[in-house]
Amino acid sequence: ARILDLCTGSGCIGIACAYAFEQAEVVLADLSFDALEVANVNIERHDLGERVYTVQGDGFAGLPGQRFDL
């Protein structure tokens, strides 16, 4: 399964989803580079770097052609 946390901010919701859905790939997307820096720190703190990652972009513009289950 693939999960998108759009406008992720610190990434807390997407990271919680990664814990709830242990087999899922989770994408944390935000327009703000500053927010994504915080999200990346949180991904590292939770040791989820193998299946949770960040994408910078405005809404779905940074995710062309990608599909998500949640």
Q: Enumerate domains of the chain plus CATH numbers.
A: 2-60 (3.40.50.150)
pLDDT at position 2 is 98
User: Which segment of 1-10, 20-29, 33-42, 56-65 scores lowest on mean pLDDT?
Assistant: 56-65
Mean pLDDT of 34-41: 98
Mean pLDDT of 36-56: 98
CB-hemisphere CA count at 13 Å for 61? 6
The helix/strand/coil state of 2 is strand
Question: In the structure encoding, which two tokens stand for residue 50, read together?
Answer: 């193998």
pLDDT, tens only, 2-28? 999 999 999 999 999 999 999 999 999
Instruction: Determine if the pTM surpasses 0.85.
Output: yes
Handedness of CA 32, 59, 41, 15 (dihedral sign): positive
> Maximum distance among all alpha carbons in the chain?
30
